[in-house]
Amino acid sequence: MADSTTSAQPTAPSRADRPVYVVGGGPGGLSVAYALRARGVRAVVLERSERVGDSWRRHYDRLHLHTTRRRSALPGLPMPRRFGRWPSRDDVVRYLEKYAEHHRLEIVTGVEVSRVERTADGTGWLLRATGGRELTGAAVVVATGFNHTPRVPDWPGRDAYTGELLHASQYRNAKPFAGRDVLVVGVGNTGAEIAVDLVEGGASRVRLAVRTPPHIVRRSTAGWPAQYSGILVRRLPVPLVDRIGRLQARVAVPDLSEHGLPRPQTGLYSRVLEGAIPVQDVGLIDAVRKGSVEVVAAVKGFEAGEVLLADGERIAPDAVVAATGYERGLEGLVGGLGVLDERGRPVVRGARTPAGAPDLYFTGFTNPISGNLREMALDAQRIARSIARGGKASRLPGA
């Protein structure tokens, strides 16, 4: 793995010598770099941290994939069987390190790209990066990740709150919260799993603030992973998948209405298309039924050391964990190119490039029910085929 002093020189190569720059050394970026290398195209991965897979290293300790080992591997290297069916966070990190080494990917660490622009002659892309670097590429693949910038709502009174307030990205395990009263805000997969972790780790009280009741699915039912169902139904009409989801929920998931989690009114797949992925149960159902995780209303604000809830209740937890999601963080990078929608997400992904931005690709900015890693692996092959067909990027020696 190269450091920033040995690669990515700030000189403008000729058109024939321009590589493809891949921004981000996570699974999306690494898989694209491999797919390009396999087609003889030179790809240079620019990673802002000092190691690949940096965002995975920062996840909470108990995290395991909700997708299977076989359906989560990147192109060109299976995940080892010893990882089990649901690989852990640490196993994913080991796999990404091995992936980069195994495929001899060209990676430059410690370089953060701040801006992507068209070159003055319109024949390529100019990347402005740390240290005053100006890098010229034939194409650019943006793979900075779905979980880029932690988002904490600007709740009224938040800054005056005297308890501990942290984003879920800062949570590692339950040890610092043993014997404490904790409120988890947000019932996505992260919030649900952190709430269960706190219960199992000895927190004295755990409450879960919910704005919109989620769809909850079993990670596996009778040995059949939920991911496999997601793969099978992804191309079906949305109303049909919604009906299938309702039937499946009635069979596999108990009604938690009396515990504060009624079944959602909107269909499962309709919610997915709005950006809300179902919560895969890793203990939340039992914890809610037993009362060890108490469901409360959404957070409205903070006042005098207390948390104000949307139903008028006031509570005074010792700590608040905001599992409130992430921003894509793309506005500064490509915001002036007209390639983002009103929510800051790329308007296209995979082999498609935005109108007016040829040879600019995006991967890893969706969270599909078929599995993010699986979709990034498929996108990598599509992107590489598109770039190789264009014939604009430099070729590897002997290719």
- The pLDDT of residue 297: 98
**What pLDDT digit, counting tens, does each position of 322-366 carry?**
999 998 899 999 999 999 999 899 999 999 999 999 999 999 998
The answer on pLDDT for 1 being more than 60 is no
- The pLDDT of residue 9: 46
Name the residue among 147, 172, 134, 141 with its Cα closest to residue 32: 141
The answer on pLDDT for 145 being more than 90 is no
- The pLDDT of residue 309: 98
Name the residue among 122, 100, 101, 108 with its Cα closest to residue 15: 122
Tokens of 123: 């024949």
Amino acid letter, 122: G
End-to-end CA gap in the chain: 22
Mean pLDDT over the full length of the chain: 93
- Report whether 151 contacts 327 (CB < 8 A): yes
Name the residue among 331, 337, 338, 296 with its Cα closest to residue 317: 296
The answer on pLDDT for 97 being more than 60 is yes
- The pLDDT of residue 2: 47
The answer on pLDDT for 113 being more than 80 is yes
pLDDT band, very low/low/confident/very high, at 15 (cuts 50, 70, 90): low
- The pLDDT of residue 56: 93
- The pLDDT of residue 274: 85
pLDDT band, very low/low/confident/very high, at 10 (cuts 50, 70, 90): very low
pLDDT band, very low/low/confident/very high, at 14 (cuts 50, 70, 90): low
- Report whether 79 contacts 70 (CB < 8 A): yes
Mean pLDDT of 369-394: 93
- The pLDDT of residue 393: 83
Q: Which residues pair with 139 in a beta bridge?
A: 20
Mean pLDDT of 32-60: 96
pLDDT band, very low/low/confident/very high, at 169 (cuts 50, 70, 90): very high
- The pLDDT of residue 273: 86
Q: Which domains does the chain have, with CATH numbers?
A: 15-148+328-390 (3.50.50.60), 150-322 (3.50.50.60)
User: Beta 319-322 vs 139-142: how paired, if at all?
Assistant: unpaired
- The pLDDT of residue 13: 53
- Phi and psi at residue 124, to the nearest 5°: -165, -160
**What pLDDT digit, counting tens, does each position of 262-297 carry?**
999 999 999 998 888 899 999 999 999 999 999 999
**DSSP readout, 167-227?**
EGGG---SGGGTTSEEEEE--SHHHHHHHHHHHHTT-SEEEEEESSPPPEEESEETTEEHH
pTM of the model: 0.91
The answer on pLDDT for 196 being more than 80 is yes
For 246, the enclosing helix (H) or strand (E) is helix 238-252
State how far the alpha carbon of 395 is from the alpha carbons of 10, 29, 37, 51, 197, in Å: 20, 19, 9, 26, 49
The answer on pLDDT for 17 being more than 70 is yes
Q: Which residues pair with 306 in a beta bridge?
A: 303
The answer on pLDDT for 5 being more than 80 is no
- Report whether 34 contacts 145 (CB < 8 A): no
